Amino acid sequence: MSDYLPLNPFVMGFDLKTGLSEDTQSTKRSLSKMSGMYHDDEAYKKILEKEDPLVYEFYELKIPNYASDLLFGTSITYPGKVGNEYYMTKGHFHEVLETAEVYYTLSGEGFMLLETPEGEWKAEPLSAGKALYVPPRWAHRSINSGSTPLVTFFTFRGDAGHDYGTIEQKGYRKLIVEGSDGKPEIIDNPKWSE
Ligand code: NI
């Protein structure tokens, strides 16, 4: 890698409670950017007629995209629902499928919904002080089933890249909604297509 320009060491801040950084700008995803991703289209439309709430934000640091680098930052998924479906991130595979990621929850509670291209799936709980290992090949989506922001710190290989398109087109096989007892419930995604 002759064009590799190593970064100098640096330090930056992420608030333990809010996940926000004063040192750089976050990428923000409001509800209007998640068309078709929630199962209740009526509820989705109804919210957007009145407002376009911020669903999540995360940091994409300007670190070189080499396998020898590590990308890192926080992801903040806000509390809320579309119909009975909790606010969530779009979720993604890595473009380089054989790359892993670690998520450490700083604040809040919820789930990481994971699935492989072969159709295995898992819903792992996220809570403050717990680390989650996302192995290579597993798509991952954060879901906030609590009443405060779900804040995670993540790190993954610099060249991994993001494949959002597969999830945008096919959806996840499973969804996490609030059940009639007020507790999180995993259901089949009625919109999922092979
Ligand atoms: Ni990732």
- Residue 50 Cα, ligand 1 centroid: separation in angstroms? 32
Can you tell me which residue has the tokens 């998640």? 34
Residues 131-148 have pLDDT tens digits of 999 999 999 999 999 999
CA dihedral 54, 56, 62, 68 (to 10 degrees): -170
Q: Where are the domains of the chain?
A: 27-188
Q: How far is CA 157 from its chain centroid? A: 16
H-state helical runs in the chain: 41-50, 165-170
Rounded Cα–Cα distance for residues 92 and 81 (Å)? 20
The pLDDT of residue 3 is above 80:
no
Token readout for 57 is 């934000």
- Residue 5 Cα, ligand 1 centroid: separation in angstroms? 24
Rounded Cα–Cα distance for residues 81 and 79 (Å)? 7
Residues 31-57 have pLDDT tens digits of 999 999 999 999 999 999 999 999 999
- Residue 137 Cα, ligand 1 centroid: separation in angstroms? 10
Which CATH class name applies to 27-188?
mainly beta
